[in-house]
């Protein structure tokens, strides 16, 4: 039981409760949680049936145009107006039928402060480290967005202190070389 309980600290999405409390629609809250989970990769494609299950609308709005009108459009408007995220979406079709939704997620400024803090420029070697990390992820055929790198770097600074560049380099090399990890970027956020 212990290993499962200890993983509870890693396997969940965090967000500010104050932000979610401002949302009126249950669908908006659930879509916000989904977007928050994937925000660091900036876009995610979710099959329509899975999305319906995730938001709790499996037996409602069975026709896509109703789902779009009653769930997606209001959630998009409310989330963009009241939270630290905004999103656009694209319908993925098979023939004429919509089979999935591709969300394009971006962070918004809230209260005049940037959501993602910048990496201090006085720290030497950051640009070289980003280039190195970008190349390592490209070898795996995966992108490394600048915001994702900024977050990883900030976390590394907090955890490793002055030696954060060396420690982060070692950690990235270890993670990228492992073939049993499909999404190394996710692991670096842990």
pLDDT digits (tens, 9 = 90+) for 51-90: 999 988 888 888 999 999 999 999 999 988 888 888 899 9
Q: Give this prediction's pTM.
A: 0.54
- Is the domain of 36 the same as that of 103? yes
- Is the domain of 138 the same as that of 68? no
DSSP characters over 68-129:
IIIIIHHHHHHHHHHSSEEEEEEEEEETTEEEEEEEEEEE--BTTB-SSPPPPTTSTTHHHH
In a domain, 19, yes or no: yes
- Is the domain of 15 the same as that of 86? yes
Closest CA to 156 of 171, 172, 168, 173: 168
pLDDT digits (tens, 9 = 90+) for 176-186: 777 777 776 66
- Is the domain of 89 the same as that of 147? no
Q: What percent of the chain has pLDDT over 70?
A: 73
Domain carrying residue 75: 8-107
Cα dihedral sign, 9-10-15-21 = negative
Please answer whether residues 25 and 74 qualify as being in contact, where contact means their C-beta atoms are separated by less than 8 angstroms. yes
Q: Checking phi first, is residue 169 left (phi over 0); if not, alpha (psi -120 to 50) or beta?
A: alpha
CA-to-CA distance for 94 and 77, rounded, in angstroms? 27
Please answer whether residues 147 and 107 qualify as being in contact, where contact means their C-beta atoms are separated by less than 8 angstroms. yes
């Amino acid at each position: 039981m212990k290993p499962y309980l200890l993983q509870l600290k890693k396997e969940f999405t965090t967000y500010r409760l104050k932000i979610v409390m401002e949302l009126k629609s249950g669908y908006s809250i659930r879509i916000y949680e989904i977007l928050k989970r994937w925000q660091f990769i900036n876009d995610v494609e979710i099959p329509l049936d899975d999305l319906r299950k995730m938001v709790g609308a499996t037996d409602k709005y069975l026709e896509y145009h109703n789902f779009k009108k009653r769930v997606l459009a209001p959630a998009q408007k409310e989330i963009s107006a009241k939270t630290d995220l905004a999103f656009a979406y694209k319908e993925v079709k098979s023939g004429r039928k919509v089979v999935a939704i591709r969300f394009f997620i971006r962070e918004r400024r809230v209260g005049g402060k940037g959501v993602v803090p910048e990496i201090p420029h006085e720290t030497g070697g950051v640009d070289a480290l980003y280039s190195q990390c970008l190349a390592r992820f490209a070898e795996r055929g995966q992108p490394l967005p600048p915001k994702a790198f900024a977050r990883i770097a900030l976390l590394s600074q907090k955890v490793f202190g002055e030696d954060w560049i060396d420690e982060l380099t070692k950690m990235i090399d270890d993670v990228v070389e492992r073939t049993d990890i499909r999404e190394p970027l996710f692991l670096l956020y842990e």
